[in-house]
Structure 1
Amino acid sequence: MYLGLDLGTSGVKALLIDAMQTVIGSATAPLTVSRPHDGWSEQEPADWISATKAALAELREVHPLALGAVKGIGFSGQMHGATLLDASDEVLRPCILWNDTRSADQAAALDADPQFRALTGNIVFPGFTAPKLAWVRDNEPEIFKRVAKVLLPKDYLRLWLTGEHVSEMSDAAGTSWLDTGRRQWSDALLGATDLSVDHMPRLVEGSDVSGQLRDVVADELGLDRGVVVAGGAGDNAASAIGMGTVSPDAAFVSLGTSGVLFVSNASYSPNPDSAVHAFCHALPGLWHQMGVILSATDALNWYAGIAGRSAADLTGALGDRLQAPGDVTFLPYLSGERTPHNDAKVRGLFAGLSHGADQAALTRAVLEGVGFALRDNLDALRSAGAAPAAVSAVGGGARSDYWLKLIATVLDLPVEVPADGDFGAAFGAARLGLIAAEGLEPTAVCRPPAVARRIAPEASLRDAFAAVHLRYRALYPAVAAI
């Protein structure tokens, strides 16, 4: 058996697979986000451990023998979070998460230093890890002086499980400290934030062994001693492993809390001016590009809370037939935006409201706004050399057929829906645990799932959505100006 642990923003998921990659069972435990100030987003690392224990306890109740037979563990995790430890590995402050935008000024200052884009292949976004440390240095100097290690969220779970300070390439590429082409920490970039390689974890590839389970933790969790722990991956790279998105120009669209358009690359292809992320993949010798929007299902869930209905009810009420875009346009910039704007301070907007703008019209506007944001991502990816011919759909939002039809039409690309099964980040993490434990060839393990159906763009609505996308794009400069 092989275990995948996916540390997300809203919860921890534990998933078991066997040697044939059949899912045996899964369990989840929730997490909450603290937002003490506008633009802030934090979590307590201790809560990640508690949630992991809770998920594994639930899994153990149903599958005790399978959990006891685990030979390898892999990780997936929310990226970019700054987990600060002192010399005794004690947490110094709540982790600053990926969607925290307080460090916009520090990010701009680092990005103005040309070596950051040159070495990382990316803009220094406020959500990345390096500007967070610069913010702590500038605003919490006593804490900064005590920092001995900086870990990404999933790597804090690894420390608890193995006692090792280790990260891997796909997650490290989102810190703004990695020389992404060379797959190693950069002394120069760390020095620019008054840190050194000594503050960083050791680096491995995602499919490599990073350590073994500590005896005391194994006994507590009901696992065998000496279980192999793989390097793992950042959440999007882990989803790519789960979906088998490892060949050139293979792509997926993820409708999770954030939205991602991900394309696999056989070589390192940076183009930071496009605001596209160029990161290491979770497998050796591979890279990937992705466009990121900060609020995808997060935008729908926000509106659902205001409407007093579930997101599923709102989308289900639209029916199955894709409708032409309406008069209301929604900008999903609830936490700022990354691709293509790199604007931490911009905020969302409903435009074109009238007396006829009912609940269904606003629901459609939210779904369309996320679709248009993903189209902006596709345009940016194409400017960076990506050429996907189709995209697979993953994430909670992919359960809405209406949304998938809309996205296929807005992107003007077929959307492939995998056959029933769990092929997301937790499954990808379990696959990495399998590869590390058994020494298997990664590409032989990371095969795409069967396609249940292919959603083609609605040709009759293509021009209408293209026209409203232009209206959508024209709104950003106006909103950014105020």
Structure 2
Amino acid sequence: MYLIGYDIGSSSIKAALVEAESGKTVAVCQYPDSEMDIISRQSGWAEQQPEVWWDNVRSATQRLLEKTKVKAAAITAIGISYQMHGLVLVDKDHHVLRPSIIWCDSRAVQIGAQAFESIGKSQCLNHLLNSPGNFTASKLKWVKDNEPDLYERIYKALLPGDYIALKMTDQARTSISGLSEGMMWDFKENKLATFLLDHYSIDSDLIPEIVGTVGDQGALTKNAADFLGLAEGTSVAYRAGDQPNNAMSLNVLNPGEIAATGGTSGVVYGVVDRPVVDESTRVNPFAHVNYTQENPSIGVLLCVNGAGIQYSWMKQMLARENTTYEDIERMISSVEVNSDGLRIIPFGNGAERILANENIGAHIINLQFNRHGKAHFYRAALEGIAYSFIYGMEIMKSIGIEVNVIKVGNDNLFQSEVFSTTIANLLGCEIEMLDTTGAVGAAKAAGVGSGIYQSFKEAFQKVSPVKVYESSQSNGVYESGYQSWKKDLEKILA
């Protein structure tokens, strides 16, 4: 008996197969091998074609089945993790009406800011725990204002994971966790945030049926099963945004626990058992995967848009063909901490929430043509991303969130010794690397949702660290570099 999990990212689609009884990961595959295209028709815009996600889900599934030789009939449940804050619009026949406005798109920043002011800061923070901001509801308002004819054809407004589940089950559904990430859940009233939808003149009928994050979310239709190569009737038993899902995959479910990831964007995610808010809305609370009215588990998310995308851009621009990230890491070892004075501000991927939605772009500072080479650029890039994490964690600490141990997956930026050591030294804490991924976590959560496991604790009990990064006693040099970087940032923001 097996479980399959999908991670619908903006870079690629990952699929994982887990043996239910042992909890062991059989295999993880992704598709495509290179990053998926992001459409940017105007500055600050970012869109993707949902149909491409669905095609790539099939390709990733086929790779997984071919690699493992597992029969489709042996797979009992499906879990879905997905890129947060996106907007997918479908008509009554479930056809996509326009490209998805994805998480790093900045077009709705002003719409959310105006709503925050008009509705009132107090009501928004008390009910949404956030400003309406540049989230899904505000993106839907942008469509209403700028594409009115298309808006009239909308049957349902979906998050990316809702769309994939729709393609699988032919049922338009969403979850409280999902609605909270789109600013469409009222925590105080424990219902749909109709006050914001009414302010935007958005019909609440556009919001899909609400189901649990974990549990029965429909079954694979014959058409979907034939398309994917899976068995008709397979249970879809879980869906959640990638960052709550990543935290769950790392067994971060309780107050005081911290998860982090360094993919296209960088994220730190801390769990609390009570509503908390950042008055400046630079970090954002959402309903965690185990949120219920009786157990109001809240995940506080710090997001840095300009993270892995900056590092991959640097590699694409500077590296020779066939150069790997491992090759780059070896090059970096020739450069001292702080990159011989070269500093990089990495915020070049749209509006940044930790900068109060400012879109300042990326900056290269103190470049010396006679001193700095490729290795300096690579190290300064990693250090700049690490410093942006620290800058955001200072905000999290200011609202009472403790950072004692950080748990990360065995992928993306945290595989870099330079990146991880920089963060560990600046925070004075351990970073535990666990051998799991978001797709594996989604598969195990589907096991909870389908009743194979009785709890998250049972599903993730065997997840243990494969590596630990520790802080050293020579962290003064790291602190000096961070303070110089922070002064540069503050000058840009002034």
TM-score interval w.r.t. the shorter chain? over 0.9
- Contact kept, 8 Å, 1:322 with 1:406, in 2: the verdict is no
What secondary structure is seen at the aligned counterpart in 2 of 1:124? coil
Q: Could you say if the C-alpha distance between residues 343 and 271 of structure 1 is closer, same or farther in structure 2, counting changes exceeding 3 Å?
A: closer
**Larger CA deviation: 7-16 vs 107-116:** 107-116
Aligned AA (1:276):
V
Q: Could you say if the C-alpha distance between residues 183 and 124 of structure 1 is closer, same or farther in structure 2, counting changes exceeding 3 Å?
A: same
- Contact kept, 8 Å, 1:330 with 1:365, in 2: the verdict is yes
Q: Which residue of 2 aligns with 1:459?
A: 473
Deviations 1:204-261 (A, max 9, x none): 2322211111133224433333221123110011111211111211112211110011
Instruction: State whether structure 2 residue 390 is matched by structure 1 residue 400.
Output: no
Select 1:122's aligned residue among 117, 130, 135.
130
Aligned AA (2:420):
L
Aligned residues with identical type, % of pairs: 24
CA distance in 2, matches of 1:100, 1:426: 24
Select 1:172's aligned residue among 158, 171, 179.
179
The alpha carbon displacement at 1:66 in A equals 4.2
Q: Could you say if the C-alpha distance between residues 298 and 173 of structure 1 is closer, same or farther in structure 2, counting changes exceeding 3 Å?
A: same
The alpha carbon displacement at 1:322 in A equals 6.8
Q: Which residue of 1 aligns with 2:310?
A: 299
Q: Which residue of 2 aligns with 1:157?
A: 164
CA distance in 1, matches of 2:48, 2:132: 22
Q: Which residue of 2 aligns with 1:474?
A: 487
Q: Which residue of 2 aligns with 1:200?
A: 207
Q: Could you say if the C-alpha distance between residues 372 and 13 of structure 1 is closer, same or farther in structure 2, counting changes exceeding 3 Å?
A: same
- Contact kept, 8 Å, 1:253 with 1:259, in 2: the verdict is yes
Q: Could you say if the C-alpha distance between residues 7 and 181 of structure 1 is closer, same or farther in structure 2, counting changes exceeding 3 Å?
A: farther
The within-5 A match list for 1:85-104 is 85-104=90-109
Deviations 1:151-205 (A, max 9, x none): 0111101001011111223332211111245553211111122213211122223
**Unmatched 5+ stretches in structure 1:** none
CA distance in 2, matches of 1:181, 1:264: 19
What secondary structure is seen at the aligned counterpart in 2 of 1:273? coil
CA distance in 2, matches of 1:353, 1:188: 50
The within-5 A match list for 1:158-307 is 158-180=165-187, 183-284=190-291, 285=295, 286-307=297-318
Instruction: State whether structure 2 residue 375 is matched by structure 1 residue 368.
Output: no
Aligned AA (2:56):
A
- Contact kept, 8 Å, 2:245 with 2:289, in 1: the verdict is yes
Q: How large is the RMSD of aligned CA atoms in angstroms?
A: 2.0
What secondary structure is seen at the aligned counterpart in 2 of 1:410? helix
- Contact kept, 8 Å, 2:352 with 2:359, in 1: the verdict is no
Aligned AA (2:260):
V
**Larger CA deviation: 1-10 vs 277-286:** 277-286
The alpha carbon displacement at 1:400 in A equals 1.2
- Contact kept, 8 Å, 1:371 with 1:407, in 2: the verdict is yes
Aligned AA (2:176):
M
Deviations 1:56-78 (A, max 9, x none): 11222233434331111110000
**Unmatched 5+ stretches in structure 2:** none
- Contact kept, 8 Å, 2:108 with 2:138, in 1: the verdict is yes
Scaled by the length of structure 2, what TM-score is found? 0.91
- Contact kept, 8 Å, 2:76 with 2:234, in 1: the verdict is yes
Aligned AA (1:92):
L
Count of aligned pairs between the two proteins: 476
What secondary structure is seen at the aligned counterpart in 1 of 2:471? coil
Q: Could you say if the C-alpha distance between residues 12 and 181 of structure 1 is closer, same or farther in structure 2, counting changes exceeding 3 Å?
A: farther
The alpha carbon displacement at 1:298 in A equals 0.9
Select 1:58's aligned residue among 39, 63, 70.
63
Q: Which residue of 2 aligns with 1:333?
A: 347
What secondary structure is seen at the aligned counterpart in 1 of 2:450? helix
- Contact kept, 8 Å, 1:108 with 1:124, in 2: the verdict is yes
- Contact kept, 8 Å, 2:18 with 2:24, in 1: the verdict is yes
Q: Which residue of 1 aligns with 2:426?
A: 410
CA distance in 1, matches of 2:160, 2:105: 14
What secondary structure is seen at the aligned counterpart in 2 of 1:173? helix
Select 2:459's aligned residue among 445, 459, 482.
445
Q: Which residue of 1 aligns with 2:24?
A: 22
Q: Could you say if the C-alpha distance between residues 191 and 242 of structure 1 is closer, same or farther in structure 2, counting changes exceeding 3 Å?
A: same
Q: Could you say if the C-alpha distance between residues 22 and 318 of structure 1 is closer, same or farther in structure 2, counting changes exceeding 3 Å?
A: same
- Contact kept, 8 Å, 1:243 with 1:448, in 2: the verdict is no
